[in-house]
Amino acid sequence: MPANGIWFWAEGTAVELPNFVNNYNKTGAVISAVPLCQGIARLTGLDRIIVEGATGEVETNYEGKVEAAIEALKTRDFAAVHVEAPDECTHNGDLPGKLKAIEYLDRRIIGPIMSALKLQNTDYRLLVLSDHKTLTSTRGHDGDPVPFAIYDSRVDTKSGASFSESWGARGPYIDAGVKLMDILFETGKWKI
């Protein structure tokens, strides 16, 4: 069909975000196929790592993201690995794909990263969370709180808790997501 309109996009200027390194005295990198996440990384002073074959879909280069994270942690204090597939599947109404993406996140990202860190025989903390809820019922984003988990290799809580929405609803509740980094890095500003 012929074009019948023009939509001007991105006429504004870049937002000024707090510098991550200055805020936390930590260096870091973001590994994501999503340009928005890459832009946030750049605007906060974090390194962007582009992984070949990373698509933001269910079929993406999970192993490449893990490799990039482990490599990044050799020279940086922090690595964020973003996986877009569960969100995209939900927007598309693809429940089987969403479940597969969550399974892959656990089996092909979190598990291998934890295994690699254990082999390094060093203490580490791992934060797992969603950037927002996307509801299967509406195929849209929701503003409700999301569950998160912080694993600390130095502490065995023997909680038996699983990472799920029902366990997450039990708390603790963090009223502002930005506090999670202080909790992760144990800055003393916020505690669980």
pLDDT tens string 115-163: 999 999 989 999 999 988 899 999 999 988 888 889 999 998 888 777 7
pLDDT reported for residue 173 = 87
> 110 vs 5, 13, 100, 114, 155, CA distance in Å?
45, 36, 14, 6, 18
Helix axes 62-72, 111-119, angle to 10 degrees: 30
Q: What is the mean pLDDT of residues 3-16?
A: 78
* DSSP label at residue 150: E
For residue 189, count other CB atoms closer than 10 A to its CB: 10
pLDDT reported for residue 68 = 98
pLDDT reported for residue 91 = 94
Name the burial class of residue 4, with classes exposed (0-12), middle (13-18) and buried (19+) by CB atoms within 10 angstroms of its CB: exposed
- C-alpha span between 125 and 114 (Å, rounded): 10
Which of 13-17, 20-24, 94-98, 131-135 has the weakest average pLDDT?
Answer: 13-17
For 118-138, give one letter per residue: b (16+ CB within 10 A) or e.
eeeeeeebeeeebeebbeeee
pLDDT reported for residue 172 = 85
- Summarize pLDDT for 45-101 with one digit per residue, the tens: 999 999 999 999 999 999 999 999 999 999 999 999 999 999 999 999 999 999 999
- Summarize pLDDT for 152-170 with one digit per residue, the tens: 999 988 887 777 778 888 8
Sign of the torsion formed by the C-alpha atoms of 37, 42, 45 and 48: positive
Q: Given a cut of 90, is residue 31 above it in pLDDT?
A: yes
Instruction: Find out whether 101 and 92 touch, Cβ atoms under 8 Å.
Output: no
pLDDT reported for residue 10 = 67
- What domains can be seen in the chain, in order of their start residue? 20-143 (3.40.720.10)
Q: Given a cut of 80, is residue 14 above it in pLDDT?
A: no
